[in-house]
Amino acid sequence: MNDTMIEDQPPHAISPTAAPDPKETVFALLFAISFSHMLNDTIQALLPAIYPVLKETYGLSFAQLGYITLTFQVTASLLQPLVGYITDKRPLPYSLPVGMGLTLLGLLALSNAHSYPAILIASGLVGSGSAIFHPEASRIAHMAAGRRRGLAQSLFQVGGNAGSSIGPLLAAWFIVPHGQTALSWFSIIAMLGVAVLWQIGLWQARNLHRIQHKPARSATAPARPTSGKIAFAMAILVMLIFSKYVYLVSLSNYYTFYLIERFHVSVQTSQYYLFLFLFAVAVGTIVGGPVGDRIGRKRVIWFSILGAAPFSLWLPHAGLELTAVLTVIIGLILASAFSAILVYAQELMPGKVGMIAGLFFGLAFGIAGIGAAVLGKLADHHGINFVFHFCAFLPLLGLLTMFLPDVEGEGRVTSAKAGK
């Protein structure tokens, strides 16, 4: 079966026997894995989206809401690098539907939880499912990428961001009016995800030859950095991930409360504003990867972190309408960072695709979880407005990008190649 036939098939009809050229981009697989990422993250986005419901129902503090996020995020962050390391050694194609199955169990447990400890346990189950899903799904995006690694990661990421933006809308339409038990309705989404991921696992099992461990370097590629420079570059990337995700979690977790407190909007209206921000994140994500393929990851990282600073510093002083506009701009800019950072790190350490994906997804989850808990404490003691003033300075850490080495000589896609 040739590549054209594969690309013409819908995601659910992927042939398990297809074996196209590893240098070609398998768009059917990328769309399928992006679709499954949307389903996975739609479910995960329901958790912070129902925080106002949980806060009112159980009388929770901001700190307790932060600990729910911490439980979910830290569970995922601790397991993801381990999953990535194991699957680098021995790929496990059918681990993806298992991960979605754990997410399904967590969702059902959350819909029936009647105490704070039960909510924490359910959050941990959802985090465990995410830990299995993200590194292996990112590996499949890498396998199907061909020469377009940045585009592949962006397509994968945009599915997750689309799911994250859909979650608050679903919460506003179904959970806010009907209560916590309405979460069980979304088990249909998880079951659909299991079915799609089973088909993707069949393709992965038949196409393991597409995994590129240590690609040959071209004559134009810069010299590989020393181990010391690699460690230094990884430390900088961690700081950039920190600035991005702590700022993003301030919006994804506490933006609704900020709008309610400062502008006195309703809970349902605040969910619509949150959707606008998360939709902007989804749109920005799809841009960062292909732009990085063309102009280089470092330039994208520069713009996507530091470029958000003027708008984040303006945000705490804006009115309601301008706040909505600024959060959309911030979402568009910041969202382009992760795909560029992830592919940059994979090119920095070739042959460790799963471990790098697990490490950076794990860092993103862990940093966001710890950040949510710390910001919740700050909100309890100093108010939600203080949190947004404090976080406004985080994008300035993008200045650290100047210290990153150049490792992209062999990975850049020229306009001529991209047009083929």
Neighbours of 121 (CB within 10 A): 14
Do 45 and 24 meet the contact criterion of CB atoms below 8 Å apart?
A: no
pLDDT in tens, the chain (420 residues): 444 444 444 444 444 444 455 567 888 888 999 999 999 888 888 887 788 888 888 888 888 888 888 888 778 777 877 877 787 777 777 788 998 999 999 989 988 888 999 999 999 998 888 888 888 888 888 788 777 777 888 788 778 877 877 887 888 788 878 878 888 888 899 899 999 999 988 888 787 665 544 444 444 555 566 778 888 988 999 899 899 889 988 998 899 999 999 999 998 889 889 889 988 887 887 777 777 777 777 888 888 888 899 999 999 999 999 999 999 999 989 887 777 888 888 778 776 777 777 777 777 767 877 888 889 889 999 999 999 999 999 999 988 888 888 765 444 444 334 443
pLDDT tens for 245-294 read 899 889 988 999 999 999 999 988 898 898 899 888 878 877 777 777 77
Predicted pLDDT at 56: 85
Residues 76 and 132: their CA atoms lie apart, in Å, by 8
pLDDT score of 22: 58
Q: Residues of the chain with pLDDT > 90: what percent?
A: 22
Give the CA angle between residues 67, 72, 43 to the nearest 5°: 125
With CA atoms as reference, report the closest residue to 42 among 185, 241, 214, 221: 185
Full DSSP string of 92-144 = -TTHHHHHHHHHHHHHHHHHT--SHHHHHHHHHHHHHHHHHHHHHHHHHHHHH
Domains of the chain from N-terminus onward: 22-418 (1.20.1250.20)
Q: Tens digit of pLDDT for each residue in 127-150?
A: 888 888 888 888 888 788 777 777
What is the pTM assigned to this prediction?
Answer: 0.65
Determine the Cα–Cα distance for residues 43 and 366; give it in Å rounded to an integer: 18
Q: Which residues contact 368 (CB under 8 A, 6 or more apart)?
A: 69, 73, 245, 246, 248, 249
Count the Cβ atoms, other than its own, within 10 Å of residue 184. 14
Q: The tokens of 312 are what?
A: 């984040």
